[in-house]
Amino acid sequence: MKSAVILISGRGSNMQALVEGGTGLEFKAVISNRPEAQGLAWARSKGIAAQAVDHKAFADREAFDAALGDAIAAHAPDFVLYAGFMRIVGERFVNRFQGKLVNIHPSLLPSFPGLHTHRRALEAGVKVHGATVHFVTAALDNGPIVIQAAVPVLAGDTEETLAQRVLAQEHRIYPQAARWLAQGRIEFPRAGVVQVSGSGVSSDALISPRTDS
């Protein structure tokens, strides 16, 4: 059985979707860079080892990255899944876990990397928005794409209503990506494009039906 460590910074709804998503991964630990992250208590309640590596306790990014890396490496996971993990890590950290790091980002990458994606999508007037699961590289929100889900942007949407619609899709596509990882059907690609191997996968994109009115 392949294993994973989940990294969080806050409430951890994507973490919950992963843990309860029947992925076939063994979740060895949940680590937060914020001691106050609500998701830590939830992980403990599920019997998963949960700890904080507080970024504020370190003099610089290098020192934090090294400590976080050691905390992860202690569990020797096959994968490290960022689930609302809001800390930028350096190249050395990315290289240390090359091919194991996966992130979920609330936009259809390569559109809207970085923060405030829903606000920026509304300001840009896009008609379709969504979420992306991708491998992490040293470039922010720019690694090879595993799966995406699209949602419509509706008249009258606010940042909150759009975020909610996207989040519902995040909770679908992240467990799906994790299942593929558990089954060994995807790996970090050399040429930048992820392929899902095996039969029964017709597409690596999910276009969500309009579920709200």
For the annotated catalytic residues, the residue numbers are 105
Burial of 23 (C-beta count, 10 Å sphere; 0-12/13-18/19+): buried
Q: Could you tell me the two tokens for 2? A: 């392949």
Count of chain residues binding ligand GRF (CB under 6 A): 13
Closer CB to ligand GRF, 12 or 175, in the complex: 12
Which of residues 21, 77, 106, 143 is near ligand GRF by CB under 6 A? 106
In sequence order, what E strands does the chain have? 3-8, 26-32, 49-52, 79-82, 101-105, 128-135, 145-152, 205-207
Give me the residue label for tokens 């309009």.
210
Exactly one of 4, 6, 7, 13 binds ligand GRF (CB under 6 A); that residue is: 13
Q: Tell me the C-alpha to C-alpha distance, in Å, between residue 154 and each of 117, 127, 210.
A: 16, 8, 10
Does 107 sit near ligand GRF (CB under 6 A)?
A: no
Binding mask 150-179 for ligand GRF (x = CB under 6 A): -----------------x--x---------
Site membership for ligand GRF, residue 11 (CB under 6 A):
yes
- For ligand GRF, the closer CB: 105 or 200: 105
